[in-house]
Structure 1
């Protein structure tokens, strides 16, 4: 029992507290802030707040208080939305990174559910679900030790690569991997392995490409629907990718294969089914940016916006 416990503890520590990279963590901050900023600037949450009260009639009091959503205050929501933009810019460029990330995360937690008033009755898959949690995680991280315009005070302190740059990035990666795993579980729970059947794929494609208020691309999806073998193959590969994507958390080889495959999957789904995964940019948190910098000969310039932190000896 002690041997098993020791091994489990060792695995746990190696997963969460392996030697981390300040550059990889900083890039995670940049990617999360960029994606969230893109979504926030493309929405008008203030206008939604100004809709007639009837639009909010099915929002129960618990949800209103949980997200602090109260209709009829477009001016206040406009101020909060622009405050979120400023906080995201601070997170993006490394100005007060911890406080900027925390404020942005809290404001997005409040703003994100507004879209469910006029669209689907839930805030998920609208582009802000992952950034809300990731920004709060980054507010407890030393993500400003690289790629920051303003020198953080934490640079005066010693940094531990295992504690300061590791678990925070791993948690963000885990949250992203769960998106694929739970997507596969939802498919299997709803339809079982019949989800990969040609008839099921055809029904979904025809539904999504023939909606005049939704569809932009038609030809690719209809071609797949007309070829049952292709439809089954695409569906099966999608399910395998989603079920297996968690392997990127443990295997560098899986990361090199499945991350590009996930990008290709999202591009294919966009052109064939008109479905866009807004957080696809966050797949780049799995990239080893130290390796990229070395290959591009940018070792000296990558961290020039903020000095190298002092690290404890190993």
Structure 2
């Protein structure tokens, strides 16, 4: 019994706390910061329409116990614009790794405040953005490939210090929870159980980027294959992603699923953020190798651009005089 308990304890400590290179969390941070920057910029054209005092929701909705938003204090235009600017600076700070923890806090607070100011215009992607920002607050995301790293140890910028990966593990678990929750929610509806859900989704023209071919929406067989196939794939992603052998295959299928959905249906930033979450499963050594390989390739391109071409041979003065003399002789003759 003691041996089994010791093994469980050792496995638990290894999973959560055995130090790993920070290459993976650095990649997640950079991509997340880029997506968060795009998300914040996308809010600008309708900023006051959705969140301002004279917009579509002049009065903020009632919040439950313990819920809060900075826009609950004031929804005046200067406050809304100021919060947007701070959120944008935080997103850029996360992306480049400048004051990373503080930047992640700014993104989390900003996104949370906007979401609770007008929750009726957002979707699951916006909630995932807030969740990932929260995880990054407690992560060692600024330990590598960041301005923070450059300022602390410039000569060791391309190193990846070892840190406990528990926040990365939370992101990985989050991915499984999302698929489990999505699968459970879908199974509560009759359309998913009778195999027609995808056909109905493909008929909603308001959310489609392109017109759906009729053979997809009218075929009972294709509708059932797509519907039940989606359920099976989500179950596989929730479970088999933890198997190292099957992980690359199920993640590749997941990428295909999300890219195809984003290509045909307007789902906001959900696809980008789910694929960002996929990056949490890249092994640290693989991430490190890819980063250093990209760095080496960039250096080779720079050397190639700077390398001078072959020297141009110019005729000597003696040769030029000889050629002129020969030309004069030909003319005289």
Does the alignment reach a TM-score above 0.5?
Answer: yes
1:215 and 1:124 map into 2 onto residues whose CA distance is: 16
* Correspondence for 1:41: 41
**8 Å contact 1:101–1:138 — kept in the other structure?**
yes
* Correspondence for 2:6: 6
Q: Once structures 1 and 2 are overlaid, which stretch shifts more, 73-82 or 43-52? A: 43-52
Please list the CA deviations of residues 139-189 of structure 1 after superposition, one character each: whole Å capped at 9, or x if unmatched.
222222211123378879xx983xx24111111222233222211110112
1:58 and 1:298 map into 2 onto residues whose CA distance is: 50
Give the aligned CA root-mean-square deviation in angstroms.
Answer: 3.2
* Correspondence for 2:331: none
Change (3 A) 1:241 1:89: same
**8 Å contact 1:31–1:281 — kept in the other structure?**
no
2:56 and 2:145 map into 1 onto residues whose CA distance is: 46
2:240 and 2:143 map into 1 onto residues whose CA distance is: 26
Query: 1:9 Cα shift?
Result: 2.4
* Correspondence for 2:248: 256
Q: Does 1:142 align with 2:134?
A: no
Query: 1:53 Cα shift?
Result: 7.7
* Correspondence for 2:274: 280
Superposed, which structure 2 residues align to 1:215-254 within 5 Å? 215-220=208-213, 222-247=214-239, 249-254=241-246
Count of equivalent residues: 287
Which aligned runs of 4 or more in structure 1 are off by greater than 6 angstroms? 152-156
Larger Rg: 2
The match for 2:70 among 48, 65, 68 is 68
Query: 1:89 Cα shift?
Result: 1.0
1:243 and 1:198 map into 2 onto residues whose CA distance is: 16
User: How does the TM-score come out when normalised to structure 1?
Assistant: 0.78
**8 Å contact 2:26–2:141 — kept in the other structure?**
yes
Secondary structure at the counterpart of residue 188 of structure 2: helix
**8 Å contact 2:23–2:288 — kept in the other structure?**
no
2:88 and 2:54 map into 1 onto residues whose CA distance is: 26
Question: Which sections of structure 2, spanning at least 5 residues, go unmatched?
Answer: 155-159, 300-333
**8 Å contact 2:187–2:193 — kept in the other structure?**
no
User: How does the TM-score come out when normalised to structure 2?
Assistant: 0.74
2:198 and 2:49 map into 1 onto residues whose CA distance is: 37
Superposed, which structure 2 residues align to 1:1-314 within 5 Å? 1-44=1-44, 45-52=47-54, 55-57=57-59, 59-62=61-64, 66-70=68-72, 72-117=75-120, 119=121, 123-125=122-124, 127-151=125-149, 161=162, 164-191=163-190, 195-206=192-203, 208=204, 210-211=205-206, 214-220=207-213, 222-247=214-239, 249-275=241-267, 277-278=270-271, 279-282=273-276, 283-288=278-283, 290-291=285-286, 294=289, 298=293
Question: Which sections of structure 1, spanning at least 5 residues, go unmatched?
Answer: 305-314
Query: 1:227 Cα shift?
Result: 1.9
Structure showing greater relative contact order (alpha-carbon pairs closer than 8 Å, 6 or more residues apart): 1
**8 Å contact 2:198–2:226 — kept in the other structure?**
no
1:236 and 1:260 map into 2 onto residues whose CA distance is: 18
Query: 1:84 Cα shift?
Result: 0.9
Change (3 A) 1:108 1:271: closer
1:299 and 1:102 map into 2 onto residues whose CA distance is: 30
**8 Å contact 2:104–2:133 — kept in the other structure?**
yes
Query: 1:97 Cα shift?
Result: 1.3
